[in-house]
Amino acid sequence: MNPLDIVIMAAGKGTRMKSRIPKVLQRLAGRPLLQHVLDQAAHLSARSAIVITGHGAMEVEAACAGGTSAGGQFDLKFARQEPQLGTGHAVQQAAPLLAGDGTVLVLSGDVPLTQADTVRALVAASGGQALALLTVRLPEPRGYGRILRAADGRVQGIVEEKDASDAQRAITEVYSGILAVPARLLLAWLPRLSNQNAQGEYYLTEVVAMAVAEGVPVTTHTIDDAVQVAGVNSPAQLAELERAHQARTATALMEAGVRLADPARFDLRDDARSGVRGELVCAADVEIDVGCVFTGRVELGEGVRIGAYCCIANARIAAGAVVHPFTHIDGEAAGVQVGEGALVGPFARLRPGAQLGRGVHIGNFVEVKNSQLADGAKANHLAYLGDATVGERVNYGAGSITANYDGANKHRTVIGPDAHIGSNCVLVAPVTIGAGATVGGGSTISKDVPPAALGVARGRQTHIEGWKRPAKRAAP
Ligand code: UD1
Ligand code: MG
């Protein structure tokens, strides 16, 4: 096999997106469209990928700097196309960077969901000799270049919609915009493209007629799956492809045994902040209710149940844990860990560095950040635990908070095992509550409480007998 060099056309403006962001950087499943295409280069073990940039070139080039999230090593190069005079003109810009010994695969930066097997089959069809076109049969072929075939079925050329006759417009086999061809042939054809057509553009598709004229074999690899060749031109198309992509992910999860209440209401995304790939790893008997969004890498242990409308990013949730509806878990870079059999939510918030042991309960409107809660600890209502180490079986009362930030620095709160923190307490860090200690409700604790002691820090209750409430003055 010849080495594979990929040319990705990504210079177009994307006017219909009506966005300041270059079209190829719009995100699908949290990943820029162009990144989806570059990932194919990794899956195909390409030697190089040349990205043709124009509109927003600096931004597009900078966005590619991180390489590909699919791994794989290939040489990434850029060629500028200014102004943009058509697809043929775009590929002309790559010519000086193309070695003569390879196979060239032309892809579009705005066609994100082509599967690696499809492209592999196309490259195989080229076989180092032929011009191979990826085509698709569309019941509604409007807007696409049509494949012209002779009576014996051999490909004669591609005609763009705007140049086509009525009879040609009736053809339903269309060109996907993706082709594979030996570099030596392409490099000979590129300088001969003309712009004598309805749009006054240099069409890459003109190489098909050149191949036919020279007796170079032209083959097609035809698929029926329109999603694989669908381009993104508008917000509506982006949303449509997003759903198609998510439906595929959902199907794969269900085939692996995950029970999704509704595959149409499921989302798995890359973490756009870090580029961490969206990956949901599930053990047996996981149940996920409707409307959940998973971001980055999330692991769910055996029998985990996720309630409706949870957002979960970068987290490990151990076997048997239950996450009730409307819970927000975001591990960012530090991660979140939920122990076996823990109960979280509804309406809970777990932030980076939250580590919950076995059987921990985190109830409604409880926020946990950078804190370890040992096995059996409970914070059931309206509480904040930040920068805290919480011992086994601690009961942390409703409305209590750790005051972990003094305005300049963060400090830790340590709560020993079996301590009982009453309701509405403020634990002013740094502070330690000893094992088995009790903190009286409403206390502001700024000194360590010894083990097994009762710490109370609040005004003593006094009574003024016969207290007269103010009475309303009579109107004059
Ligand atoms: C192209 C094909 C058409 C095919 C269709 C599939 C040609 C002449 N026509 O048409 O047969 O059915 O794709 O989607 O090739 N681009 C540049 N520089 C340019 C022009 C375009 O980089 O000067 C990039 C665009 O950003 C885009 C890709 O090339 O990623 C395709 O361009 P587009 O204008 O969408 O081509 P179509 O008219 O759709
Ligand atoms: Mg297009």
Distance CA 178, CA 223 (A): 12
Model pLDDT, residue 69: 61
Amino acid 150: pLDDT: 97
CB of residue 418 inside a 6 A radius of ligand 1: no
**Per-residue 3-state assignment (H helix, E strand, C coil) for the chain:** CCCEEEEEEECCCCHHHCCCCCHHHCEECCEEHHHHHHHHHHHCCCCEEEEEEECEHHHHHHHHCCCCCCCCCCEEEEEECCCCCCHHHHHHHHHHHCCCCCEEEEEECCCCCCCHHHHHHHHHHHCCCCEEEEEEECCCCCCCCEEEECCCCCEEEEECHHHCCHHHHCCCEEEEEEEEEEHHHHHHHHHHCCCCCCCCCCCCCHHHHHHHHHCCCEEEEEECCHHHHCCCCCHHHHHHHHHHHHHHHHHHHHHCCCEECCHHHEEEECCCCCCCCCEEEECCCCEECCCEEEEEEEEECCCCEECCCCEEEEEEECCCCEECCCCEEECCCCCEEECCCCEECCCCEECCCCEECCCCEEEECCEEECCEECCCCEEEECCEEECEEECCCCEECCCCEEECECCCCECCEEECCCCEECCCCEEECCEEECCCCEECCCCEECCCECCCCEECCCCCCCCCCCCCCCCCCCCC
Q: Which ligand is nearest to the CA of 201?
A: 1
Q: ∠ CA 153-157-161 to the nearest 5 degrees?
A: 115
**Nearest ligand to residue 109 Cα:** 1
Is any ligand 1 atom within 6 A of the Cβ of residue 108? yes
Nearest to 267 by CA among 239, 295, 298, 300: 295
Structure tokens at 326: 């409307």
Residue 476 has a pLDDT of 86
Q: Which ligand is nearest to the CA of 10?
A: 1
455 CA distance to ligand 1 centroid (A)?
73
Q: What is the pLDDT of residue 70?
A: 65
- From first to last of the 476 residues of the chain, give the pLDDT tens digit: 799 999 999 998 889 999 999 999 999 999 999 999 999 888 999 999 999 999 999 999 999 876 666 667 899 999 999 999 999 999 999 999 999 999 999 999 999 999 999 999 999 999 999 999 999 999 999 999 999 999 999 999 999 999 999 999 999 999 999 999 999 999 999 999 999 999 999 999 999 999 999 999 999 999 999 999 999 999 999 999 999 999 999 999 999 999 999 999 999 999 999 999 999 999 999 999 999 999 999 999 999 999 999 999 999 999 999 999 999 999 999 999 999 999 999 999 999 999 999 999 999 999 999 999 999 999 999 999 999 999 999 999 999 999 999 999 999 999 999 999 999 999 999 999 999 999 999 999 999 999 999 999 999 999 999 999 999 999 88
pLDDT value for 313: 98
Q: 12 in ligand 1 pocket by Cβ < 6 Å?
A: yes
228 lines ligand 1 (CB under 6 A): no
Angle, in degrees to the nearest 10, between helices 33-43 and 57-64:
40
What pLDDT, in 10s, does the model give residues 184-242?
999 999 999 999 999 999 999 999 999 999 999 999 999 999 999 999 999 999 999 99
Question: What's the 177 CA to ligand 1 centre distance in angstroms?
Answer: 7
Q: Which residues pair with 112 in a beta bridge?
A: none
pLDDT for residue 42: 87
pTM of the model: 0.93
81 ligand 1 Cβ < 6 A: yes
Distance 13 CA to ligand 1 centre (A): 11
What integer pLDDT is reported at residue 71 of this predicted model? Answer: 65
pLDDT value for 41: 84
CA of 86 to the centre of ligand 1 (A): 7
CA–CA distance, 283 with 297 (Å, rounded to integer): 14
Is domain 4-229 annotated with CATH 1.10.357.10? no
Which pair of structure tokens corresponds to residue 358?
């076995």
Sort strands 388-390 and 372-373 into parallel, antiparallel or unpaired: parallel
CA of 230 to the centre of ligand 2 (A): 9
Supply angle C-alpha 66, 334, 392, rounded to 5: 165
* The pair of three-digit structure tokens given for residue 275, joined into one six-digit string: 């580029």
Domain ranges of the chain: 4-229, 235-455
Annotated catalytic residues are: 381
pLDDT attached to residue 73: 83
Task: Say what the pLDDT of residue 13 is.
Answer: 85
Between the alpha carbon of residue 188 and those of residues 90, 95, 156, the distances in Å are: 15, 10, 19
Which residues, 6+ apart, have CB-to-CB distance to 395 below 8 Å?
Answer: 377, 378, 419, 420, 421
Class of domain 235-455: mainly beta
- Nearest Cα residue to atom 13 of ligand 1: 177
Ligand 1 pocket member 22 (CB < 6 A): no
Nearest CA to ligand 1 atom 25: 12
Q: Can you give the pLDDT at residue 68?
A: 64
End-to-end CA distance of the chain: 104
